[in-house]
Structure 1
C-alpha cells in the first residue's frame, strides 16, 4: 500500500512539471478575450491559464522590462523573421508589422518610424524585446502587478468583420452593388462562417439601407457587427436632348447658331454629339441636324431637326471660313492656289543664343551618350526621341563643373511633353508649353561645386519612356561658367551616375540632326503693308529663310540645322491692315504646333492637327484699325516643313 501511494505521488509530480512544447499554442479563449501573464525573472508564461516556457526569463535592464521575442510572438499568434543581410528582425501579428534591429532604439511599426526607451538585444541567441513596445505595437492592454511580480497582457481575439461596397449611392432597379469581404482574424485563425443583412445585389426601392456583416472564427467566436449605410436613389431617367435654331430657312453661306437646351434629371450629361451641325451650308436643299446626349450612366437622348437651305448665296465657302473660323480652329482651301500669291520680303536679324539640338539618333536603340559638349551663357536644349528599345528608358542632362570655382545654373522657360506614342500630340504640346513658359518663365537654380556633376530638369528625367513612346523638351538655361554636359540615355531601372563611366558616345543616325548652333534667336521685320491683298510669308524653306549652321561637337563636323528646329522666331509685322486674317499653311505635310500672337498662345489646332496642305489654321484677325502684330514660334518637333503665313483680307460683312 505504501509503495502504491509513493508511485502515485511521483507520477503526479512528473505530470505537474511537464512543459508544453513551444510549437503548440495554448487553447484560445472561447469568449474571444486572451490573457497572457508574464513573471519577472522567470521564463514561465501563463496563456489563458496554461503554462508555457520561454528560452530566457523576463528580465529588467535599466528600468526596461524585456521578454523573449519568439516565444512571446508565438503566444500572440505572431511570428519572427530575421534578415541576416540587413540584420533586421520583422515581427508580425495579424496586420501589424514591427521591424527593428538589435541594439538600436528606433523601430518601425506599419512603416512609421518611432523611438523606444532602451533597445532590443540578443541574449544567448534569443532576441529580447521591450515588453511595452510589443504591447503598444500589437494592440495589447498591459497591466503591471507589482505584488506578484507579474505583467498581465490582454487582447481581444475575436474576428474582425469588414467589407467594402462598390457603390454607396446606387440607383433603384438599375445599379448592381458588389460587396468585397475584407474580414480577418487578428491572430490568423480561420473564419468559418458569416452572416449578412441587407446585402442586396439590386435595390428595388429608393431609401436608406444599413448593410451589416458578422463573421465567426474556428473557436466559435463571433465578431462585432460591421455596418455600412447605402442611400439608394430613385431610378435614373434618360437625358432629354433638345436644341433650337433661330429659323427654319437659311441662305447658302449664312451662319447658323445652334443652342443646346438638353437636360438631365441629375445634370450629368457627359457627352454631346452633333451630326451635320454645320455653321453654314453651301448646297441648296434640306439638311437634317441631330444632337445625341449621354448621361453618366450611359442613358441616351436624341433629337433631330430639319432646316431648308435656299439657292441664294450670302457668302462663298472661302468668305464664310475667313469670317467665322476662330483662332485655334482650321478650315479647308486648295493648297496649290496659295503658291500663286505674292511673297512678302523681310529683314532677318539673328541674335546670339546657343542651341543644343540632341535629335540624332532620334530613335533610341541602345544605352549611351547621345550628345556632349562644353557650353556657357544662354543655352537652349532641344531633345526629341522615340524609344525603340524593348524596355523603358530614362533621359538625363548631366552637367559637370571642371572649373576651380563653383558654377550656377539658372533654369528658365521650358516645355516638356510625352511620353506618348503619337508624335504630333507630343510636338504640339511641347511647342505650346514652351511658348507659354516664355510669356512668364519660372526660374530655379542649381549650384554645382568645382569638380562635381549635377542633373538638371529632373522632372524630365523622372519619367520612364515606354517602348514606342515619343518624348520631347525645349528648355532655356543660363550657365555662369563653361560646363561639360552630356545627354545620356539608360534603361529606366539603372542609376545614370553609376552607369555613365561604361557608356560611349553613339553615332548619328545620318538622318536627323544633332549639334551646337549659335545665333538661334531669329527676328524678322516686315515693314510693308500687309493685308491689302492676299499674300504669304515663306518660313523654314532653306531658300528665303536659311538654316543656321553649327558643329557636331562629338565628331567636329559642320552641320546645318535642317528645319531650324529649336530656333526661336520673332516676326514683327509693323503695318497689318484692318480686317486681315493671319493664317498658317503647312507646305511640307502635316503640322501640329503653336504660335504666340500678340501675347496669346494659339495652337494649330486646339483640337486637331493640320493634316495636309489643304488644311489651314487660323491664328489671328485684326480689328477695325491697322495694327502691329508680333508672332513668336519655333518649328514644332515632329511636324513637316516649310510653312507659310498667309495674309487674307476679310470679306465685307453682309446682312
Structure 2
C-alpha cells in the first residue's frame, strides 16, 4: 500500500474506547511518559517479580510485574507499542499496532496473528490480563524486528527492537492554476510526514500576488525531524494580462505589516501635514561614529554619563586585521555607583551597513532584560562582555544601541581593539583615533510628538527628521561642537490620539534608501520585511482594524509608534495616513 493511501486510511480510523480501557494496567502505568520512536534501537529490560522496567536506560513503573501463564512469560502490548511509537486502534478485524513499515493485527484468545498482511502463528494465544492485552515473550521476534536475552541469574529479560527506517516527508500543496494581475493567491499546504513531523518548509516562486504576466513555477520542499528532505512539489501558475489590483491597491487591502510596494511619492507632497504638539525627553545620547571606519587600535570616544542615557555605536573595520569593539566603564568617584543596562540591540559583523544598522534597531526595539553592574570607587568594568565576542574581519562593521542609567557619574570609553587585546588593561593606554565624522554627547535627544486631530479621514502625513535645527552636541575629546543630522541613537515616539478605523499607515523614505524597523503599539515591524525601501516605495506598518464585537460609536484605540534612525539610512521619513474608505 503506498504512503498516500496509508495516510488517508489511518486518518479515518479512530482509536476505539474499548482499546483505551483494555490497554490500561500493565505497561507504563497511569503516569507514564510516552517516548516518540527514534531512529535507534529500543532497549527494554524487565525483571521477573518486579514492577519496574527500563526503557533505553530510564526506569519506568508498571502496575504489576510481568505475568507468567503456564510457564510462558507474557509481555504487555502497550509497552511494545509505546516504545516503537506505534498507533493502536481497534476495528472488526482485531487490534492493530501499526508503524509505517510494521503493521500487526492481534485478536484476544487467538494464536493466529498478521504482520504486514502475512499470517503468523504465535506460540500461545494473545490474551487480556488485568485488562491489558499481552503476547508471549517469543512472539516479539515474530511480530517486530526484535530479539531478546534472558539472564537466569538476574531473572532479567532484555528486549532489543530495531528501528524502522525513516520515511521521507511528502511535500504537497494546492494553488490556483490561473490568476489575474494583483489577484490574491491562496496556497493550501497539504504536506505531511507519515512517521514524524515536519519542522521546516521551503518555497520558491510563491507570492501572495503576482504583478507581471507570465508563467510562474512554484516549488515546495519539506524537512522532517529525522533530517530528511522531501521530493519537491512543483506547480505552474499562469498569470494572465488582466489587472485585478495594482501593487498599491493590493497591499492596501491585503498587505501585512512590513510589506513594501511602489507608490506616488510626488503625490504625497500634496498631502496635508498633521498638526503636532512636540516635547523633548531627557535622555542623553553618547554617540561613537567618528571615525566610522577605523584603521587601527585606539580610543573611539570617551565621555562621562550621570543620568538616563543611550549609547550609539556604529563603526567599520578599515584594517587588514581581525578587530573588535569594547566599551569600558570606569568609576572615578569616591562612592560606589550602580549601573543599569536596559534595552540593547547589537548587530554585526557584516559588510552590509544597512543590514547591521537595521538589525541593531530591530533588536533594540524588541527589548531586553535589564542587567545591573556595581562599580566600586576607582574600578573599571566591561560594559558588555558579549560585545567583545563580535569579531570584525576587514571591511566588516557593527552597530549597537544600549540604554544605560546610573546613580552617579561614570566614564564610558569606546575602543577599537585587535581580536586578542584585553580591553580592561588597555583603557588608559590607547591613543585617540582621528575624528572623521560625528561623535559626542547630545542632551535631551528623545522626542515626543502628539497628534490630537483625527487622522485617516483624508490623506495626511507626518514628517520625521529635519524638524528644525540639527541635533547639536559637544565632543568631549575636542571640546568643540558636533552635529547629528541623522538623529542616530535618538528615539522619537509618535502618539496618535485618534486614528479612524480602516486607516492605513505607511512609512515612506524621503532622503534615500531605507532599511530599519519601527515599534507600533509595542509590536516591532521590519521596514520592509525583506530588502530595503527606495524613494518611490513605501511599507505598510499598521492598519487600524475595528475590533471584533465593537459596536456603535466605540472610539478607536490610540496608536503609538516608536522610531529610531538605523545606521546607513537617512532622514527624513514620512508617516503617511491613508483613509480606509479608499479601499472599500
Shorter-chain TM range is 0.5 to 0.7
Q: Which residue of 1 aligns with 2:123?
A: none
Q: Distance in 2 between matches of 1:308 and 1:361?
A: 51
Q: Distance in 2 between matches of 1:257 and 1:371?
A: 53
Q: Is the 8 A contact 2:181 2:239 kept in 1?
A: no
Q: Which residue of 2 aligns with 1:64?
A: none
Q: Distance in 1 between matches of 2:302 and 2:211?
A: 57
Q: Which residue of 2 aligns with 1:539?
A: 464
RMSD (Å) for aligned C-alpha atoms: 3.0
Is 1:243 equivalent to 2:174 in the alignment? yes
Aligned mate of 1:301, from 201, 223, 232 = 232
**Match of 1:435, SS?**
helix
Q: Distance in 2 between matches of 1:367 and 1:249?
A: 61
Aligned mate of 1:446, from 373, 390, 409 = 373
Q: Is the 8 A contact 1:364 1:386 kept in 2?
A: yes
Is 1:614 equivalent to 2:542 in the alignment? no
Shift of 1:494: 1.6
Specify whether residues 637 and 310 from structure 1 end up closer, same or farther in structure 2 by C-alpha distance, changes over 3 A only. closer
Shift of 1:443: 2.3
Q: Distance in 2 between matches of 1:503 and 1:650?
A: 58
Runs of 5+ unmatched residues, structure 1: 1-206, 210-228
Specify whether residues 470 and 288 from structure 1 end up closer, same or farther in structure 2 by C-alpha distance, changes over 3 A only. closer
**Match of 2:577, SS?**
strand
Specify whether residues 310 and 566 from structure 1 end up closer, same or farther in structure 2 by C-alpha distance, changes over 3 A only. closer
> Alpha-carbon deviations, 1:231-272, whole Å to 9, x = none?
786596684543244xx6656544231212234556558553
Q: Is the 8 A contact 2:511 2:572 kept in 1?
A: yes
Specify whether residues 653 and 347 from structure 1 end up closer, same or farther in structure 2 by C-alpha distance, changes over 3 A only. closer
Q: Which residue of 2 aligns with 1:582?
A: 505
Specify whether residues 290 and 378 from structure 1 end up closer, same or farther in structure 2 by C-alpha distance, changes over 3 A only. closer
Shift of 1:319: 2.1
Q: Distance in 1 between matches of 2:285 and 2:533?
A: 29
Aligned mate of 1:375, from 292, 301, 305 = 305
Aligned mate of 2:479, from 539, 546, 556 = 556
Specify whether residues 386 and 286 from structure 1 end up closer, same or farther in structure 2 by C-alpha distance, changes over 3 A only. closer
Specify whether residues 279 and 393 from structure 1 end up closer, same or farther in structure 2 by C-alpha distance, changes over 3 A only. closer
Specify whether residues 251 and 507 from structure 1 end up closer, same or farther in structure 2 by C-alpha distance, changes over 3 A only. closer
> Alpha-carbon deviations, 1:526-564, whole Å to 9, x = none?
122211222221111x2x354321101111111121211
Q: Is the 8 A contact 1:610 1:616 kept in 2?
A: no
Name the count of aligned residue pairs. Answer: 418
Q: Which residue of 2 aligns with 1:364?
A: 294
> Alpha-carbon deviations, 1:35-60, whole Å to 9, x = none?
xxxxxxxxxxxxxxxxxxxxxxxxxx
Is 1:386 equivalent to 2:332 in the alignment? no
Aligned mate of 2:203, from 273, 290, 293 = 273
Q: Distance in 2 between matches of 1:286 and 1:394?
A: 49
Specify whether residues 501 and 599 from structure 1 end up closer, same or farther in structure 2 by C-alpha distance, changes over 3 A only. closer
Specify whether residues 453 and 335 from structure 1 end up closer, same or farther in structure 2 by C-alpha distance, changes over 3 A only. same
Q: Which residue of 1 aligns with 2:419?
A: 492
Q: Which residue of 2 aligns with 1:171?
A: none
**Match of 1:502, SS?**
coil
Specify whether residues 410 and 263 from structure 1 end up closer, same or farther in structure 2 by C-alpha distance, changes over 3 A only. closer
> Alpha-carbon deviations, 1:120-140, whole Å to 9, x = none?
xxxxxxxxxxxxxxxxxxxxx
Q: Distance in 1 between matches of 2:296 and 2:440?
A: 20
Q: Which residue of 1 aligns with 2:493?
A: 570
Q: Distance in 2 between matches of 1:561 and 1:503?
A: 26
Q: Which residue of 2 aligns with 1:478?
A: 405
Please say which structure displays the higher CA radius of gyration. Answer: 1
Specify whether residues 286 and 556 from structure 1 end up closer, same or farther in structure 2 by C-alpha distance, changes over 3 A only. closer
Shift of 1:652: 6.0
Q: Which residue of 1 aligns with 2:253?
A: 323
**Match of 2:308, SS?**
strand
Q: Distance in 1 between matches of 2:351 and 2:472?
A: 31
Specify whether residues 389 and 533 from structure 1 end up closer, same or farther in structure 2 by C-alpha distance, changes over 3 A only. same
Bigger Cα displacement from structure 2, 291-300 vs 625-634: 291-300
Specify whether residues 396 and 269 from structure 1 end up closer, same or farther in structure 2 by C-alpha distance, changes over 3 A only. closer
Q: Distance in 2 between matches of 1:431 and 1:636?
A: 6
Q: Distance in 2 between matches of 1:632 and 1:403?
A: 36
Is 1:262 equivalent to 2:191 in the alignment? yes
Q: Is the 8 A contact 1:513 1:562 kept in 2?
A: no
Q: Distance in 1 between matches of 2:559 and 2:333?
A: 45
Q: Which residue of 2 aligns with 1:291?
A: 219
Q: Which residue of 2 aligns with 1:420?
A: 350
Alignment of structure 1 residues 8-27 onto 2, 5 Å? none
Q: Is the 8 A contact 2:247 2:261 kept in 1?
A: no
Shift of 1:411: 1.5
Q: Which residue of 2 aligns with 1:464?
A: 391
Q: Distance in 2 between matches of 1:264 and 1:351?
A: 55
Is 1:410 equivalent to 2:340 in the alignment? yes
Q: Which residue of 2 aligns with 1:632?
A: 562
Aligned mate of 1:339, from 269, 272, 275 = 269
Alignment of structure 1 residues 25-424 onto 2, 5 Å? 239-245=170-176, 253-263=182-192, 270-275=200-205, 277-281=206-210, 290-293=218-221, 297=228, 300-306=231-237, 309=240, 311=242, 315-424=245-354
> Alpha-carbon deviations, 1:407-445, whole Å to 9, x = none?
2212222111122232222112211111121xxx52222
Specify whether residues 309 and 514 from structure 1 end up closer, same or farther in structure 2 by C-alpha distance, changes over 3 A only. same
Q: Distance in 1 between matches of 2:234 and 2:411?
A: 65
TM (normalized to structure 1)? Answer: 0.58
